[in-house]
Amino acid sequence: MVYSCESDGNAAGWRIAVADYLVPGIPEAMRVIGRASTPLAALSRGVAAVRRGTLIVNLPGSEHGATESLRAILEILPHAIDQLAAVDHAPRPQA
């Protein structure tokens, strides 16, 4: 996973600039899981946002980081997508 406070690469920045609104809980969940592997995950610039009804999630550039982050949010993505689609649904049963 690439963790950085450096200014090179601005993927997160342009997503914030075009977002209708941010969804801060998603990158928070990714950082929590990432910190189990390395404390440097706290430096991640992950962003999740909605633009024109589309959920945009900024994943890390490394295969390990992207896989780890996606696993952290897979369980909540169906609910997020349902909310964007304004689908009325019952809570999902806990596994």
* 33-65 pLDDT, tens digit each: 999 988 988 888 889 999 999 999 988 888 988
The pLDDT of residue 29 is 96
Per-chain mean pLDDT for the chain: 83
Residue 2 has pLDDT above 60, yes or no: no
SS (H, E, C) the chain: CCCCCCCCCCHHHHHHHHCCEECCHHHHHHHHHHHHHCHHHHHCCCCEEEECCEEEECCCCCHHHHHHHHHHHCCCHHHHHHHHCCCCCCCCCCC
pTM of the model: 0.75
pLDDT bin (cut points 50, 70, 90) of residue 1 is very low
The pLDDT of residue 20 is 93
